[in-house]
Structure 1
Amino acid sequence: MIFLEKHHRDIVFYKALCNLRSEASKTYLSFLWWVIEPLFSMAIYYFIFGVVFQRGTEDFVPFLLVGLVVWQWFAQCVSHCSVAISQDHALISQVNFPKLVLPSVNVLMDTFKFSIIFCILLIALWSMGYPPTMAYIYLPVILGLQLLLNYSCGLVASSLIPFVPDLSNLIPHLLRLGMYGSGILYAVSSLPENIQSVLAYNPMVWIIQSYRDVLMYNQAPDASSLAIYAGSVFCLYALARLLISRLNPVFARALMQR
């Protein structure tokens, strides 16, 4: 979103703030649901895999927490962005309105919620015996790359669904498949090499492992892998921006024909 023009950034921040206030006002617990909901999700997965099936290791709780928090940020950005353009017919019908603003609003909202959960995660890790280390200097880089990845994937989804509405039904299944293929509940390094080579195409595998290396194991990401990943994410972002800018004039017509 920092790549938007200034007046577009102002629109994004104002609309995101209004949406957050509106969302919080609809329930009795207000903004507390932004914390309670992901905590419930983490508790359910821990109960199933850590207690019932006893598949966890000694560090399974922090291992699971890091993976789930990071994945939920990605999944929510993509899921919410996917319907951002197709659901806002009033704004889309205005030819001069930049459609890029709509998915940007959703990414900003989800990022704000994630920032709260991530702070709680850090406190939880510190209390479990994983204090801050010098490896934390890589944390802003990893966070920035994931934000750009979330944004890029959200832009692609929001651009395609007005023309291929069936994708809106497919995305939840793809996200579920991506979740189980991201190493959230298991260590990817423990799998056979042929499976690891397949999962390497999932960008969230590297992201999640990088968070764990920094937050739990006091390890810096591999420099060559970091450079390759950063280059790939920036290329994806450039393609996503090109796609939405090319389709910008015809979104309204596509939605009217549905």
Structure 2
Amino acid sequence: MKRFWKDLKSHYRYAIYSAKSELKSEVANSYLNWIWWVLEPFCFMLIYAFIFGVVFNASEQYFPVFIFLGITAWDFFNRCLTQSVKLLKNNKSIVTKVYIPKFILLISKMFFNGYKMLFSFAIIVIMVIYFRIPITLNVLYVIPIFIVLFVVTFACMTHLMHYGVFIQDLANVTNIVLRMVFYLTGIFYNIEKRLPAKYTGILMKGNPMALVLSGIRKCVLYGQAPDVKWLFIWFIIGIIVAALGIRKIYKNENSYVKVI
């Protein structure tokens, strides 16, 4: 881990620069530019709010904000994981010519998607004001919750990036698994209210994204404290899995260049 912190200290500027460059290139030829970063999740929120709020008559309080919070956090997690699978192959020109710690590419992607997520949260602030949602000090729990989200996301990305080099079909498998997890995370429904108690406990403890989304909604919408115990457990699990992933990446750095 000493090598990890040393490499992070010496290369974090590259991660920031790379993320900024990718953000600029993404909106360079678009008429709406950065507005798409907000418009896309906002449109999905409207669609889900109509389908589940009107068609299926969902009774969740502050339902549009409930959905938008879920979509915003999920999009960050989903994009980071799907992009990590072919990350080394997509950066072949860099990886094969210049040495750079491979996990820096992952951090760059997290910066890239995290910056876009910030734009969505600006909309959430406006929605909170519009719907007159009372804010309590429990909203500060958002900070440790997002730390857990970042750690778990990075942990998953390290392993997906590694195996994505050697397994050609991993991208397809990842998309299928993420789609399944999407429906088991409670993006557009409240797991604790909609599912039987015996399934609720399994999903909330075994699915870190369900735990994260539930925690964000509790402290932002309802002024409640999240499940701190299980958030801490998943933080520790994320640290361990990330450490194993980083070790695997360092061990196979030379192999990546040969395979891609």
TM-score, length-normalised on structure 2?
Answer: 0.90
Q: Report if aligned partners of 1:2, 1:9 keep a CA contact under 8 Å in 2.
A: no
* CA shift in 2, pair 1:196/1:4, >3 Å: farther
1:90-239 to 2 correspondences below 5 Å: 90-94=93-97, 96-190=99-193, 191-199=195-203, 200-239=205-244
* Per-residue Cα deviation, 1:14-67 (whole angstroms, up to 9, x for no partner): 111111111110211111111111111212212222222223434322222221
Matched, 1:63 2:66: yes
Q: Report if aligned partners of 2:45, 2:64 keep a CA contact under 8 Å in 1.
A: no
Q: Report if aligned partners of 1:49, 1:56 keep a CA contact under 8 Å in 2.
A: no
Q: Report if aligned partners of 1:81, 1:154 keep a CA contact under 8 Å in 2.
A: yes
1:9-24 to 2 correspondences below 5 Å: 9-24=12-27
Identity fraction in percent: 27
Q: Aligned partner of 1:195: which letter?
A: Y
Deviation at 1:111, TM superposition (A): 0.4
Q: Report if aligned partners of 1:62, 1:125 keep a CA contact under 8 Å in 2.
A: yes
Q: Report if aligned partners of 1:95, 1:249 keep a CA contact under 8 Å in 2.
A: no
Deviation at 1:3, TM superposition (A): 7.8
Moved over 6 A (4+): none
> What value does the CA root-mean-square deviation take over the aligned residues?
2.0
Which of 27, 30, 36 does residue 39 from structure 2 map onto?
Answer: 36
* CA shift in 2, pair 1:223/1:197, >3 Å: closer
Q: Aligned partner of 2:125: which letter?
A: L
Does the residue aligned with 2:12 lie in a helix, a strand or coil? Answer: helix
Unaligned runs of 5+ in 2: none
Deviates more, 1:78-87 or 1:160-169: 78-87
* Per-residue Cα deviation, 1:180-228 (whole angstroms, up to 9, x for no partner): 0001122212312332244231110110010011101111223322322
Q: Report if aligned partners of 1:126, 1:132 keep a CA contact under 8 Å in 2.
A: no
Unaligned runs of 5+ in 1: none
TM-score, length-normalised on structure 1?
Answer: 0.91
